[in-house]
Amino acid sequence: MADPDRVLVPTLGRPQEDEALSYALETFPDAEITLLAVVTPLDAPLSEGGVLERREERTTQARASAAELLESVAGPDTGDRVRIALAEGRPGTVVPRYASEAGIDHVVMAGDRTRSNWFIRRFLGRDIATTVVERTTQPVTILE
């Protein structure tokens, strides 16, 4: 299997996403990386950070968070390889759709480290990473 040309790293405002971006940059040194800031809709059961601000504020915050994430792991050659995109919707739907429409070859994302807590899983449903894997036709790497 050849190395991918276009890699997607979704960001939902989780702390371990810097590891996913670093992994994508190191593992696929020749690929274009898209850092997709996903803004969860207000009617979703859980939005990033649990805070339900107005749409404009949440969109601005998601873009700023993605820029901070990129800056935190950026190296001298990173600037030309990474672009930030923004999408609104449920991550389990938005990520697969974006990957398909944008011609993405590989998805790298942080897993849900709270998966071992059965109560949280039962209350909130499946984790996002599992949903993305099931709905995405491209290979997905999940970092736990």
Render pLDDT for 17-46 as a digit per residue (tens, 0 to 9): 999 999 999 999 999 999 999 998 765 554
Identify the band that residue 1 occupies on the pLDDT scale cut at 50, 70 and 90.
low
Question: How many domains, in total, are found in the chain?
Answer: 1
pTM, whole model, 2 decimals?
Answer: 0.81
* Full residue range of the structural domain in which residue 22 is found: 6-142
Q: Is 39 contained in some domain? A: yes
Q: Is-contact 33 79, C-beta < 8 A?
A: no
Residue 82 lies in a domain: yes
Q: Residue 65 belongs to a domain with what CATH number?
A: 3.40.50.620
Q: Is the dihedral of CA 55, 87, 81, 7 positive or negative?
A: positive
Only one residue has tokens 């990129």, namely: 70
Residue 90 within a domain? yes
Q: Which residues contact 43 (CB under 8 A, 6 or more apart)?
A: none
Question: Is 118 among the domain residues?
Answer: yes
In this structure, is residue 49 part of a structural domain?
Answer: yes
Is 1 domain-assigned? no
Q: Is residue 62 in a domain?
A: yes
In tens, the pLDDT along 54-99 reads 667 888 888 888 988 888 887 777 778 899 999 999 999 999 999 9
pLDDT of res. 141: 94
In a domain, 61, yes or no: yes
